[in-house]
Amino acid sequence: MEEKTFHMPLLGDPFPELTVKTTHGPMNIPGDMKGSWFVLFSHPADFTPVCTTEFVAFQKRIGEFDKLGCKLVGMSVDQVFSHIKWVQWIKDTLKVEITYPIIAANDQIAMELGMLHPGKGTNTVRAVFVGDPAGKVRLVMYYPQEIGRNMDEIVRAVKALQLADNEKVAVPAGWPNNEIIGDHIIVPPPTDMKAIAERAGKYECFDWWFCHKTLGK
């Protein structure tokens, strides 16, 4: 018997083309996301406590993702009717309406995305993919089943990716609250001696290879 391959798309790879069933009807990923940033996240199973806290946390931040032009899509290897019943339970019990689609994946789709834990049966792990408007994978987060995600970090990561693309800069740890340079952003290192000389007085620098500036300057 051929062994199943556990593969996860790498950073910069095109997001795998998927035709899927969701709580919002059929979708093509990433085709239906073209021109938008998107976050696709998997969860182990419907009607489980940690996953329920995560889905509510994502929904509570839907306005922040909307401002970033970023769409949310959930996914697990559960059937659509299970997703629908779970979403109804969340609305009735926790008074939170889940407005983003949830993919009803099968094992083939989950394996293609590297979302099936090889030692945990058919449960999908807590994977997060951030895709850009061109459908490229820009960030991957991978959590064990036992630990819920921090959605504020996912929001921050999307903001940082967009900032890095738009301003051609790098973003420090913990931005916008970095311990060394606060809310400043990092200017990419110079590539020749002339560029080093041109930096004098233009940016705040600890050394020629570590310069930073205020956003927008």
- Does the active-site annotation cover 51? yes
Sign of CA dihedral 82, 88, 93, 98: positive
With vertex at residue 79, the alpha carbon angle to CA 19 and CA 90, rounded to the nearest 5 degrees, is 115
Q: Is the separation of the CB atoms in 198 and 192 below 8 Å?
A: no
What are the CA-CA distances from residue 202 to residues 198, 214, 217 (Å)? 7, 11, 10
Which residue among the candidates 51, 70, 205, 211 is catalytic per the annotation? 51
CB 62 within 8 A of CB 4: no
Catalytic residues: 51
